[in-house]
Amino acid sequence: MFMDWPLLSLVIWTPIVGGMLVLATGSDKNAVEAKVLTLVVAIATFLISLPLYTEFNTQLASMQFVENISWIERFKINYHLGVDGISMPLILLTTFTTMLVVLAGWEVIKTRVAQYMAAFLIMEGLMIGVFAALDAAVFYVFWEAMLIPMFIVIGIWGGPRRVYATIKFFLYTFFGSVFMLIALLYLAVKSGSFEILDFHTFKLGIEAQILIFIAFLLAFAVKVPMFPVHTWLPDAHVEAPTGGSVILAAIMLKLGAYGFLRFSLPITPDASGILDWLMISLSLIAVVYIGFVALAQQDMKKLIAYSSISHMGFVTLGFFIIFAIARKDANMSGAVMGIEGGIVQMISHGFISGAMFLCVGVMYDRMHSRQIADYGGVVNTMPVFAAFMVLFSMANAGLPGTSGFVGEFMVILSAFKANFWFAFLAAITLIVGAAYTLWMVKRVLFGDVANDKVAALTDINLREALILSVLAVAVLFFGLYPAPLLEVMEPSVENLLQHVMQSKL
Amino acid sequence: MNFQIPDVMPALPEIFILSMACIILVTDLFLNKTNRGATYMLSQATLVIAVLITVASFSTSPMLTFSDTFVRDGIGDVLKIAIYTATFTVFLYARDYLKDRGLFKGEFYVLGLFAVLGMMILISAHNFLTIYLGLELLSLSLYALVAMHRDSAIASEAAMKYFVLGAIASGMLLYGMSMIYGVTGSLDLATISQQAAQLSDKLVLVFGIVFLLIGIAFKLGAVPFHMWVPDVYHGAPTAVTLFIGSAPKLAAFAMLMRLLIDGLGSVIAQWQDILILLILMSLAVGNIVAIAQVNIKRMLAYSTISHIGFLMLGVVTGTQAGVSASMFYTIAYTLMSLGSFGMIILLSRKGFEAEKLEDFKGLNERSPWYAFLMLVLMFSMAGVPPFLGFWAKLSVLQEVVAVDMVWLAVASVVFSIIGAFYYLRVIKIMYFDKPEATEPVGCSRDMSVLISLNAIFVLMIGLFPDSLLSLCLKVVSAS
């Protein structure tokens, strides 16, 4: 019944308009109204986004829920939306996470509440817009506009070095994106429209492909982030308020990876094939080196930020390993597994990193410190919380049975089909990852009660327990039964691979 | 001798503005301080009626008159309407500011209207002489406006600099024109275009073009002829800066287009490289030096320089689509510039100039609405979607890419990243810093409505830019 509705537009614009309404509630005197309204809008958006899954035809590889109307005739830009099996789960992840983030900020944010809440709602709509856009100009508009609310969120409600962090975040991303803009303009001028799907079939010479690939790489690598342009992420994460960190880690990083799938691979397949050594090396550096960097962190948020970079390395590894597999044998099942593993890892990392940041947020709200050294023996005073945190840490380390295992395992398996050493290096992280996560858990949660502050801690309240248990269910569900996710994305991934394996020269 | 009375109808708006400016000049003599508001109302009414006249006689096909020295076309009409609107906005924003500082005099409005007339003539020029005439009328009115605050040393200094450098630029322009006249034997733009293409020896022509470009670059404020811009923007009373920073840019674009495209379009190879150099230097100097400014008027002056660089990007392609993109950029820039200088005026009070960046500290806590408006304007200037400034940048960049100058597009966006920093800093100051002043922020109701509309337009045209973009393309293609 929902197929005729402009569902995607609704999912994009409900939170944006809702955010405007929340802004209109004004000063902090109406903080409660602002919060309730925000929660209502966030839940409504989540509910509206559900039919995207229930009504989704898993047999089709083409775009579904398509909307296409002319927007700017002068440049042949259309307001063209649609989702396939790759973008649809990410939209659900966005609506789901935003709901939790609104709840997470419920008691913590005390100043300019309406602006805080509105920023997250508007950001939600814009991020969904990025996933749903099928027109490059529409994509770019959402992609850039999204920076504005995040810039404000980190800058106003962030930590002591928030201004440095937020300007660095903005400029880094802006830097990467403008080159993508030029690449998109080039494609649009040559092909005559801004349609992404037309770009996919548009023939390009190898030199143009390589330049365009590099332009895309600058934009997406900053966002993912890949080594060596990852340095904004630890700063932004550490300074951002909990909600900002969660959105950054759970969704914004996925946008970069999504960009590789939607733009780099299908538009410049030959360049991607030629330069895959670069992508694989950068991914492996992220996986191994950043993993060791995480081991050395004293600050919990920084540690999780570095672990995010390391985990995102798996995603890009999975995406770009396909060429090495294709060169070895004609059977594409390994390549399909690589990409699918990458996507599963994206979704799972969304849940796990979000949950980890929320856990740190729970402790930070009580102790106002993120230093590992300030903690110790938290399990004695917060047993329920400790149980959750241990679960999420295990998932972060890739324990079988949690969603963290599925994606990493798939990527490592497909890496074996390409080259033993790739797989070996990637698999090392399972050890390093376990080391830094569990070592942090040991120092923070276990042992004797470290100081009076820890002794005075109170366990999580109902609101916090609700947020964490929802996430815990998600992590376990996709860990034990990832089939629904894989089923949805399978035709789209195969279709993507067909495009990628066809030379454009 | 057969003397024909020329068809004056195409010049009706100009004639109307001229008559009204004279009437207001005389009327103002009979007004005393208490009823000077009449001058203001009369000037505003003039501008509104001028819009109506221009719209009523709007036609996209070009009409030549006064022995082909004057052209009425769609580009001109659109730009003129933009100029009336911008000047209307300037007069409204400036009113209370001028009253508070004892500058609320008839001269402001009369000079303003004469400047408008100068711009209109410049826009409609189809002959070197008409261009010069319009340009001088515009410039002389502006020199006088800058000097209006005669007790202020900094304003007098600015006016002096503006005048001397402006006069040199006019001299250069004239010199260039005379050389081009020498080789082509004509002052008429269309004839020059034909003749220039047929020249076998282009040496003198190139010399002429160089001087012409120097003159244009001076008037536009393109690097390396930009020295006057920051001093004049800073020294002039903010109300005058508001005026200089908005409407004359539309006229300057028209001059650029008339001279280079209409007049010298056939010899684009001779000026393209020079213009590219001017663009790159403007983008570099404008964006980098703006970072070091603490005075927001100076910062916006350098930002103007960088926007001029972007604006010229469309013209440098030499295509119709490129010119229409530049035209869109100019209109967009005028709208943003009006809003930003309007915000400075809004924050200024009697005896207090909100000129320093730190005067914007914590604006979000003092007045979230005005802070939001300024946020829209700053992000738009930085070229972040979905605001108007983004589409302006996108359209010129697209045309540059379309003529295969991808490297130039890449260089421009690199500088725009540097530029983003100082716009972000304004937002940082408004949103992330604690307020130092506690006075309530406010202004008269009409200004509050207009400045809100101004910023909302920047957002709304950003969301639906098609009609303005198509209009620009339509009028440029028709001429």
State how far residue B432 is from chain A, nearest Cα, in angstroms. Answer: 5
Q: Which amino acid is at A119?
A: A
Q: Is the ipTM beyond the 0.90 threshold? A: yes
A452-474 residue pLDDT tens: 887 888 888 888 888 899 999 99
- Direct distance between the N- and C-terminal alpha carbons of chain B, in angstroms, rounded to an integer: 33
Which uninterrupted H or E stretch holds A67?
A: strand A64-72
Question: Which residues of chain A lie closer than 8 angstroms to B394, CB-CB?
Answer: 75, 137, 181, 185
- Whether the bond between A491 and the residue before it is cis, its omega within 30 degrees of 0, is no
Say yes or no for a CB contact (<8 Å) between A148 and B465.
Answer: no
Say yes or no for a CB contact (<8 Å) between A73 and B368.
Answer: no
State how far residue A98 is from chain B, nearest Cα, in angstroms. Answer: 22
CA angle B140/B69/B196 to nearest 5° reads: 105
State the CB neighbour count (10 A cutoff) for residue A29.
10
**Mean pLDDT confidence for A129-154:** 91
The C-alpha atoms of residue B385 and residue B362 are separated, in whole angstroms, by 24
Say yes or no for a CB contact (<8 Å) between B420 and A163.
Answer: no
The C-alpha atoms of residue A270 and residue A140 are separated, in whole angstroms, by 24
| Partner B, chain A 152-211, Cβ-Cβ below 8 Å | 152, 155-156, 162-163, 166-167, 170-171, 174-175, 178-179, 181-182, 185-186, 188-189
State how far residue A146 is from chain B, nearest Cα, in angstroms. Answer: 9
A229-282 residue pLDDT tens: 888 888 888 888 888 889 988 899 899 999 999 998 889 888 888 888 898 899
Cβ pair B407, B374 in contact under 8 A: no
**Over 70: is that where the pLDDT of A55 sits?**
yes
The C-alpha atoms of residue B90 and residue B113 are separated, in whole angstroms, by 12
B277-291 residue pLDDT tens: 999 999 999 999 998
A116 touches chain B (CB under 8 A): no
The C-alpha atoms of residue A68 and residue A94 are separated, in whole angstroms, by 23
Cβ pair A299, A371 in contact under 8 A: yes
**Mean pLDDT confidence for A54-66:** 84
Cβ pair A244, A123 in contact under 8 A: no
- Residue B84's pLDDT band, with cuts at 50, 70 and 90, is very high
Tell me what pLDDT residue A504 has.
76
Q: Where are the alpha helices (DSSP H) in A231-330?
A: 232-239, 242-247, 253-259, 265-267, 269-274, 276-295, 300-320, 322-328
Question: If you measure CA to CA, which chain A residue comes closest to B411?
Answer: A179
Question: Which residues of chain A lie closer than 8 angstroms to B473, CB-CB?
Answer: 74
The residues, ordered by sequence, that sit 6+ positions from B108 with a Cβ below 8 Å of its Cβ are B94, B98, B145, B148, B239
Query: What 3-state DSSP class applies to B362?
Result: coil
**Over 80: is that where the pLDDT of B330 sits?**
yes
**Over 90: is that where the pLDDT of B36 sits?**
no
Tell me what pLDDT residue B130 has.
92
The C-alpha atoms of residue B303 and residue B423 are separated, in whole angstroms, by 9
State how far residue B382 is from chain A, nearest Cα, in angstroms. Answer: 10
Q: Nearest CB to B424: which of A75, A167, A182?
A: A167
Cβ pair B41, B91 in contact under 8 A: no
Q: How far is CA B259 from CA A250, B172, B191, B256, in A?
A: 55, 14, 12, 5
**Mean pLDDT confidence for B48-70:** 87
- Residue B339 backbone phi and psi in degrees, to 5: -60, -45
**Over 70: is that where the pLDDT of A1 sits?**
no
The C-alpha atoms of residue A201 and residue A266 are separated, in whole angstroms, by 8
- Candidates B259, B290, B337, B301; CA nearest to B161 is B301
Q: How far is CA B363 from CA B82, B296, B354, B375, B453, in A?
A: 30, 15, 12, 10, 19
**Over 60: is that where the pLDDT of B1 sits?**
no
Cβ pair A105, A243 in contact under 8 A: yes
Q: How far is CA B46 from CA B13, B14, B279, B447, B449, in A?
A: 10, 11, 37, 19, 21
- Residue B275's pLDDT band, with cuts at 50, 70 and 90, is very high
Share of chain B above pLDDT 70, in %: 99
Chain position carrying tokens 């295969």: B404
Query: What are B71's strand-pairing partners?
Result: B64
The C-alpha atoms of residue A150 and residue A122 are separated, in whole angstroms, by 10
**Mean pLDDT confidence for B22-46:** 89
State the CB neighbour count (10 A cutoff) for residue A481.
11
A334-380 residue pLDDT tens: 888 888 889 998 999 989 999 999 998 888 888 888 888 888 888 88
Read out DSSP for A333-400? HHHHHHHHHHHHHHHHHHHHHHHHHHHHHHHHHHHS--BGGG---HHHH-HHHHHHHHHHHHHHTT-T
- Residue B137's pLDDT band, with cuts at 50, 70 and 90, is very high
Cα dihedral B180, B186, B187, B188 sign: negative
- Whether the bond between B368 and the residue before it is cis, its omega within 30 degrees of 0, is no
Q: Nearest CB to B406: which of A73, A74, A182?
A: A182
Q: How far is CA B445 from the centre of its chain?
A: 26
Say yes or no for a CB contact (<8 Å) between A170 and B466.
Answer: no
**Over 60: is that where the pLDDT of A119 sits?**
yes
